[in-house]
Homo-oligomer: A and B are copies of this chain.
């Protein structure tokens, strides 16, 4: 066996262990009876420890040394070289993080998450403060161990968005704010209620599921290698490209919740299902940090696909012109007095609101910037944990013009910080920006794309995304993917132009 084959075999087994952990997690969130939580934690902890020991072992070091010698001089953009590079990079990273810090975070996380859930329930931020403080201290320790040049945030965001830094995000956010804040003002000034409220009617859940799954398949979800289930906090998860599952949640009245949730997770799933089969069980589909679905190169790259399919396709006028009849076939009474235009407007209403996960396309990124700016302040000491509620509310007023009536609907709304997940938020916004760059390039490179989307034929777009994004797995960074397929790295103009075009038309802005 060559050194590369030995390296491949070694990583393939690590991939198996990490995917097994994902299967246990999927089960815990979809099927596990309540009593099972007690020992599922032990099972997850043991497999995680085994994965970690396996990865940071001398065996990995020896195999890396040998394979690096063997592939020296090969094409630096080849999958082989990238697989070795990625493994080396994460091997050094994981080795730098002290075992005690990882262990303390892992032990504290479930307790801290429970305290957060209770605090949110009881609107009691004070009770959460000591846990958030501990998580912050551990994360700072982690950042110091990993090392950084500019801002401690850089060390942490690397786990989620390797191309981003505090400085690059500041530039990105400023450019976005310059476009988004004035657009939002114009929309709010022109807003008026829709003539009919479709979301006070009842949509039986089994029919919602049938329609959602039909649309997911229509855009390309392969159910021979996937399935749709229910979960209170929807997610997509992959156990190799052969088994990529999605979940959604249902509301009897508010049909968009399950439908766009399904399309969102389908976007993630298309990424995973579209990875080159030769990368199965390879380093380029291995999430060495156990942070996110296997396959994608970053949170942002992944989110670019969920957002693209959910928003730029699923919430487009063309989509509803093609598919409204089918929706009315399934819900004849509920949709009797509706039409594609009303549907289009009903799923694109812009309103500044308190809750991130319910936000529309225009306001969503403002929620993300607020969180990211707070994280940076906490990490560099500019902000104290105790001051968070005030800072949160002030920023909400500044960006969105609304003030939370209590902390449950404000600073306590998201779970992320309770587990010490600092650095994960910017991926959502990076994804939004990327999605518009990809779609613009696809339109430029496929002159008939517009026509095929108008006919409800998504295969040309899916094909373009597969060859330019999905198939590469983690071989190229988010910026490399953008550059290779669009000629430019991350930049906000296509995204702002998309929002300006869509919402000017929808709100009759001049």
Contact of A23 among B23, B46, B245 (CB under 8 A): B23
Q: Give every chain B residue within 8 A of A225 (Cβ-Cβ).
A: 33-36
> Interface segment, A24-32, A296-304, A435-443?
A24-32
The answer for the CA separation of A240 and B20 in the assembled complex, in Å, is 18
Contact assessment for A39 and B224 in the assembled complex, using a CB-CB cutoff below 8 Å: no
CB neighbours of A104 from chain B (8 A)? none
- Which residues of chain B come closer than 8 Å to A40, judged between CB atoms? 239, 243
A457 interface hit (Cβ, 8 Å): no
A50 with B239: CB separation less than 8 A = no
Which B residues are CB-close (under 8 A) to A223?
Answer: 33
> A227 to chain B: which residues have CB within 8 Å?
31, 33
A8 to chain B, nearest CB (A): 13
A35 (CB) vs chain B CBs: closest residue: B225
B-facing mask of A1-24, CB < 8 A → 1, else 0?
000000000001100110110011
Given A38-B242, A50-B50, A242-B38, CB of A19 within 8 Å of CB of B33: no
Which residues of A173-218 are within 8 A (CB) of B? none
**Alpha-carbon separation in the docked complex, A226 to B36 (Å):** 8
A168 within 8 A of B: no
B residues in contact with A480, CB < 8 Å = none
Give Cα A226 to B32, complex, Å. 8
- Pair A239/B47 contact, Cβ less than 8 Å: no
A43 CB within 8 Å of chain B: yes
Cα of A47 to Cα of B54 in the assembled complex, Å: 12
Of all chain B residues, which has the CB nearest A16?
A: B46
- In the bound assembly, the distance between CA atoms of A306 and B27 in angstroms comes to 26
A16 touches B224 (CB 8 A): no
Distance between Cα atoms of A33 and B17 in the complex (Å): 20
Residue A367 is within 8 A (CB to CB) of chain B in the complex: no
Q: Is the CB of B38 within 8 A of A20?
A: no
Contacts of A20 in B (CB 8 A): 20, 24, 43, 46-47
With A27-B27, A50-B50 given, is the CB distance from A19 to B35 under 8 Å?
no
A510 in the interface (beta carbon within 8 A): no
A334 lies within 8 A of chain B by Cβ: no
Complex CA gap A12/B37 in Å reads 16
Known interface pairs A42-B12, A281-B42; A243-B35 also in contact (CB < 8 Å): yes
Residues on the B chain within 8 Å of A42, using CB = 12, 16, 281
Answer whether residue A280 sits at the interface, using C-beta atoms and an 8 A cutoff.
yes
For A84-123 the 0/1 string (1 means CB < 8 A from B) is 0000000000000000000000000000000000000000
Nearest CB of B to A43, in Å: 5
> CB of A141 within 8 A of chain B?
no
Asked if A414 lies at the interface with its beta carbon under 8 angstroms from chain B, I say: no
- Closest B residue to A12 using CB positions: B42
A222 at the B interface (CB under 8 A): yes
Bound CA–CA A239/B27 (angstroms) = 12
Q: How far is the CA of A16 from the CA of B51 in the complex (A)?
A: 14
Q: Which of B17, B36, B242 contacts A46 (CB 8 A)?
A: B17
Q: Is the CB of B24 within 8 A of A43?
A: no
User: In the complex the two chains form, what is the Cα distance from A17 to B40 in whole Å?
Assistant: 11
C-alpha gap A222/B31 in the complex (Å)? 15
Taking the closest CB of chain B, its distance from the CB of A443, in whole angstroms, is 31
Which of A24, A37, A226, A281 lies at the interface centre, i.e. has the most chain B CB atoms within 10 A of its CB? A24
Chain B residues with CB under 8 Å of A19's CB are: 39, 43
* A224, B35: Cβ atoms closer than 8 Å: yes
Residue among A12, A32, A226 with the highest chain B CB neighbour number at 10 A: A32
Q: Are B243 and A281 in contact (CB under 8 A)?
A: no
Q: Which residues of B contact A34 (CB under 8 A)?
A: 224-225
Q: Which residue of B lies closest to A226 (CB)?
A: B33
Among B39, B243, B280, the residue within 8 A (CB) of A32 is B243
Q: How far is the CA of A227 from the CA of B34 in the complex (A)?
A: 10
Render A277-290 as a binary contact track against B, CB cut-off 8 A, 1 for contact: 00011000000000
Contact A43 B226 (CB under 8 A): no
6 A-B pairs with CB atoms under 8 Å apart are A19-B43, A23-B43, A27-B27, A31-B227, A35-B225, A50-B50
Query: What 9 new A-B contacts, CB under 8 Å, besides A17-B50, A20-B43, A33-B245?
Result: A16-B43, A19-B39, A20-B20, A23-B27, A23-B43, A31-B31, A33-B225, A40-B239, A40-B243
